[in-house]
Structures are given as structure tokens and as C-alpha cells.
Amino acid sequence: MDRIRIRGGRALAGTIPISGAKNAALPLMASALLTDGPLTLTNAPDLADVTTMAGLLAQHGLSVTRDKAARTITLSGTATNLEAPYDLVRKMRASVLVLGPLLARHGRARVSLPGGCAIGTRPVDLHLKALEQMGAAIEITGGYIEATAPGRLKAARIIFPQVSVGATENILMASALAKGTTEIVNAAREPEITDLAACLMRMGARIEGLGTDRLLVEGVESLGAAVHPIIPDRIEAGTYACAAAITGGSVLLAGARLDHLGAVTRILRDAGVDVAEAEGGLKVARLNGLRGTDVMTEPFPGFATDMQAQFMALMCVAEGAAMITETIFENRFMHVPELLRMGARINFHGASAIVRGVPRLSGAPVMATDLRASVSLILAGLAAQGETIVNRVYHLDRGYEHVEEKLAAVGADIERLPG
């Protein structure tokens, strides 16, 4: 199993290209089930999760063509197999996003209950209850969601009791082919939702309310072909912003968009990091010292839960203390014991952690437990004295494209060691 070795202490300088967003690419790929296509996605990232989704859609019967050099994925055809098997779905939670499109277009779906990172239960109840409101009959048997909807799904007024990105995506896709106009209330507002809606509209869907928490979707009989560019990855951009800050460096995040970062920009600025729009992307630099800054994760435009671990690593070397509160997932502090091994001072209880900054972290062997925890340990290694070995980096490859190459190109002493 591959490992990543880092020798810390180097300030980063240069340009880091930001790849297409993983969290946008996966639902966009699933939306190909709604049409014979072809649907061509440009700016497609080369990630393990994208490969997993491509394999899942191929086993459903779609033709999937990837041109990694051109960074495109083209999907076409009609699903001939309506089952998403456990062996594929267990690898990635986003696999559940095939449920809505399969049910809307074919009236039937059998989808394994999902897997993915071990950062909480993340139940699919919101997806299922909303689909039932649209006329689907759903049973869970033998670890599978068995769903049927004779004829077309019917429009409904869906009020989510809590904000859910995945549920909003599933119902947005399902309602594109439903009979009537579906209203989605308390919809997630993440940029990836807007990107999915924009792609569906290119395919012929009728959607109002983009960027708001109330979406209106007028169902159509069928959707057609489209070409759609995937938005840049705001979490990757935020991660490399933290990398520049934790090393005292200055980088240009090529392709990154300020409007996609939400509260991350404000929190970084409060902590002493300059984030500014520049030609071709965002310029990020640490001004002087880092300041301990409190943060609470919230749905967009609040501070992203996918940035919590990276920001915690940054706060480990800030002056003063920071309280970090996680409100989205209940099991997302698994990186804390590994940061403690590197000399961090962190106390946590329940959903909150108090981080007291130290002058310098120390390199150590550490173990990655999930995707964002993996990269937080790399950030800590960049700032640490001595050598850090991050083990179990297969998590990292799910969501970060060539991370060691991108960091090495801006001055980091980092390399991948084959397992």
C-alpha cells in the first residue's frame, strides 16, 4: 500500500492548478442515466472515485469513454441493468446517486446501501422519503434499496428537514423527468448543486431557483445530449490555501473561484491569511503570524465540513487557541490522534475540539483514516520538523489528483513511496 513521505519546513511558492471538482463530477456522471446522450463532461479530474463511478455506470450498461489527456468523460446509451451491486457501491457513498435517475427513467432500481469514508452514518432516509412522496414504493431488504415507480414519478413538494447535498442531488435528477412541477424546499446551495442543475438544463431540464434553498423543477418527457464543463474543486482550492498558509508561502491557485469558497475565505482571512482574486485564479499568502480562529462547520455558504480537518492542521501552528465545532458528521475527528502524534495540542469532547497552537510540529509516522483526514496529515507534515510518513493514502487518491506532484512543483519535499 502506497505511502507519502514529507520533509517539512519549506515555504511553498508558485502556481497550483485546481482540478475539476470531485463532488460535482460524480452527480454529473450519474445524470447521464437520464438520457441516451451523449453527455460529455470536460475538466474531468483523474480520481479513484471518478473511476469507481465510471465502472458503476458501465455495469449499468452505459458506454463510458475517458480521455485523460483531454480531461473529458463521455457517457451515452441506456441502462440495461438496473442494479447497483454492493461490491461497487461499498467503495463510494456517491453511488447512491444512481437511485433517482434509474427510478425516474426506468421505473425501477435496486441499489445497495452505500459505503465510503467512515465519518458517520450519513443515512439515506432523506433520499428515500422524498422519492416515496413522488410515488415510489421502497423496501430495504438484504442490504439493498428496492424501489419501483410504475409509470412516471409524480411531482411533489419536498421539504427536507435538514440540508442534504446528496438528497438534493438525487431528487433534482429524479424530478427532471417527473410528471408536473416539483418544489424542493430547504435544498442544499452548494456550488456542486448549481453545477448539476446547469448541466441538466443544458440537457433540456426546466429548473428555477439556482443558488437558492428553493428549487422548482418542471418535469419534461425526455432529456438530450449536452457538453458541460465541471466546476473547479473548491475543497482542493481550500486545501492548497491552507498548505500555503501553514508553510508561510504564497501560491496562485489557478482556476479557483472565490465565490465557491463561502465562509472558508472569511475564516482564513481572520486567521491571518490573505486570499485575493488574481488573474487566472486566487492568490493566497500568509501575511505574518497565524491567529487562532474559531470555526463551526455548516452547509454552504457556511464553512465546509470537508475543510474542517485541513483547518485544524493549520490551527495546530497558530498563535493562541481555536475552537473547532463539527455539526455535519458525528465522527469526523479521527485525524486528531494522528496530529497528537506530531506534537499538536488538541482536546476534544463530542462535537468540539480546542486546538492550542504550538511553535512547531514534529514529523512522525501517521495513519490516514478518511479522505480529508489524509490531506490534513500532509499539511501537518509540510509544517513539521523532520520526516512524516502518511500511511494508507488510498483514501487520498479518491479526492485529490496527483497531490504529491502538485505540492512538489511549488517547493515541497514530498514523494510517494510504493507499498
- 122 in a known ligand binding site: yes
Torsion of CA 358, 362, 366, 369, to 10 degrees: 20
- Which residues, including other chains, have CB under 8 Å from residue 177's CB and lie 6 or more apart? 34, 104, 105, 152, 153, 219, 220, 221, 222, 223
- Please state, in angstroms and rounded to a whole number, the distance separating the CA atoms of residues 382 and 385: 8
Where does 320-372 show beta strands of DSSP type E?
Answer: 321-325, 345-349, 352-356, 365-367
- 129 in a known ligand binding site: no
Burial class of 66 by CB neighbour count within 10 A (0 to 12, 13 to 18, 19+): middle
- Please state, in angstroms and rounded to a whole number, the distance separating the CA atoms of residues 400 and 18: 10
- 126 in a known ligand binding site: yes
CA distance readout (Å), 290 to 80, 263, 287, 315, 393: 55, 18, 8, 8, 28
Residue given cell 416515496 in the structure block: 132
- Please state, in angstroms and rounded to a whole number, the distance separating the CA atoms of residues 322 and 344: 13
8 Å CB contact between 132 and 117: no
- 93 in a known ligand binding site: yes
- 306 in a known ligand binding site: yes
Residue given cell 490551527 in the structure block: 315
- 186 in a known ligand binding site: no
- Please state, in angstroms and rounded to a whole number, the distance separating the CA atoms of residues 374 and 343: 17
- Please state, in angstroms and rounded to a whole number, the distance separating the CA atoms of residues 288 and 267: 16
State yes or no: cis peptide before 38, omega within 30 of 0.
yes
**What positions carry a catalytic annotation?**
117
Torsion of CA 244, 321, 291, 275, to 10 degrees: 50
- Which residues, including other chains, have CB under 8 Å from residue 276's CB and lie 6 or more apart? 282, 283
- 365 in a known ligand binding site: no
Q: Which helix (H) or strand (E) holds 185?
A: strand 181-185
- 22 in a known ligand binding site: yes
- Please state, in angstroms and rounded to a whole number, the distance separating the CA atoms of residues 360 and 336: 16
Per-residue b or e along 270-305, where b marks 16 or more CB atoms closer than 10 Å to that residue's CB: ebbbebeeeeebbbbbbeeebbbbebbbbbbbbbbb
What is the 8-class DSSP label of residue 34? G
Q: Which residues are annotated as a binding site for UDP-N-acetyl-alpha-D-glucosamine?
A: 93, 122-126, 306, 328
Binding site feature residues for phosphoenolpyruvate: 22-23
